[in-house]
Structure 1
């Protein structure tokens, strides 16, 4: 590998600032543009999608309206299960590739698991599940959209329960509704629509989904990996395996299919697309306040080039979910939280200098202004976020 190009941490941070639309001159004018730049926005916490887009939009573009138009009106973005069995918001142009490469195999496992649980914890079988699903789809065809509760009223079978893990320490009663809707969603037969309530709500309405075109899984993996390398390259094989959730052999096959070029990065070998340009000019100094689960903070398994390992315990929970972070020129330098009075508090974990403090303070003020009366609490609480939100300095 002695003749491969070396991409150091500074160049990786420069790429991040421009390609992730975080530097001021690189900010986007629409939610669809942000989604395309990042490939996938973590959607487990609905508020994170809006906050991630807001951090990357130019002044004067309303984040809430921009995201809602893209998701619910023009269909430029779609919410679906994807990589690592996680809910993401992805460009609709990539939905078929995500479905074929990642979601469909997970859906097969999800259905098998549900049938196994029903067989042990109830008298329901495959025929019962198929009829229940038929009734749900027929109801949505009539209604157009409905919440889980509304579907439960219309399809009494959804109110059934079963015993999960009988005879084990995990034994408990679970609802059929959430599992059935989850399977139908993962199979691409129904889709999450507008939430019941504000944009921070996770109680979504469901609607029939447009069928994804059939895709060859290998080709779909190559398309998705190529898009992600364009946004996040260089990335190591470990980064790619972690982000996609695929087998190593599938990652290697996709790398070969897109003609990925090996480069040297700190800690090993990374890959970029064959037409990826050479050294990237460093953008102007930039600051950003990114939300919990932001795709930039969660984009790579190896994070030493943008995260001080001593700060990990304060910024991530025990499961590895990142909380709200403060960035300066491509590095995480602290964390932030919204307090009950609506103010945005932040703390720097490293001395970033006076210019950074001014820029970060301006971003905090900008965030607090557009949030207004809305209060946002991350679904996965982290130590520093908890401390700051309760009044800690």
Structure 2
């Protein structure tokens, strides 16, 4: 079984409408003007409460969203309109990947050429979208007989789904019966530099832990927004984790005085809908540029001629005395808050993010752009999270 370019099949392909029933991991599915659907990871009412273009882009990128089908088909085609990102002065990014699983096992990958392009000029702070044609992703040579198929959508490309075709009837896959783990975090949770959608650390951890993941990781958008807390509150889940800190530091969004009450309010809102659900608060993984230096982060364009872009911290360590946040400050405050709340909340736990990626890892697997982990580090983090969270005495023990 392998991805191919669209060709004529011996058996005519029949079209199945893409509906919410065929999708897992999305919070909401929007009907588009072309008759397709656009998966969202925030509901419309939440999107209406924030005009930030960065968040709008991140929440529409379907990290953790997958088509879940039961079918005897041996050929599948999916028409999509991806929105790819291009950065001025930087070599083109690789196309987003579609990961195919058959009966729970990896069975192929594909990419989609074409689509829209979002051109970002980091030095000017501008974005411009150029529209492009739809693309077709095709998987053929699938095994005979009825099987359960998942197609994980690109975690870093907004993906409009126009049509699904197969050479046999397609229906939604039945519920797995596994526990649902809802996770919220930053671009690292969304997938940053992971190689493919099933390679992000939350998806890898979910596979190892035997749970179904709903990924509310938003690049640049883990900012303790009340609408995100209400979305978590209102979403069915058996397990919940929130990874807090890096975006608050690199956006220089708030001071220590506001941080503590904002964390309490975020957790209070989640508890309104999930009073006894295991809830894990995760502090930031190691990020050397912000351990003791406040934000904001800024692009480091010194290597752009060689096609490299990094990030640097522009704050002053002395500003911690005025309440500016660093990762060290955030971890200390989160540990204090969780310890105080846990006295009356036996289902609340804390995890220091450096248990997923710490000092020794930084030496062996440095952050390529000084902010985001690479594909190997995503897998390492997923393995460590699964070993810690799903262990017999872990916060997500069965």
TM-score grouping bracket, smaller chain normalisation? under 0.3
TM-score scaled by length of structure 2:
0.26
Structure richer in helix, relative to its length: 1
Structure richer in strand, relative to its length: 2
TM-score scaled by length of structure 1:
0.26
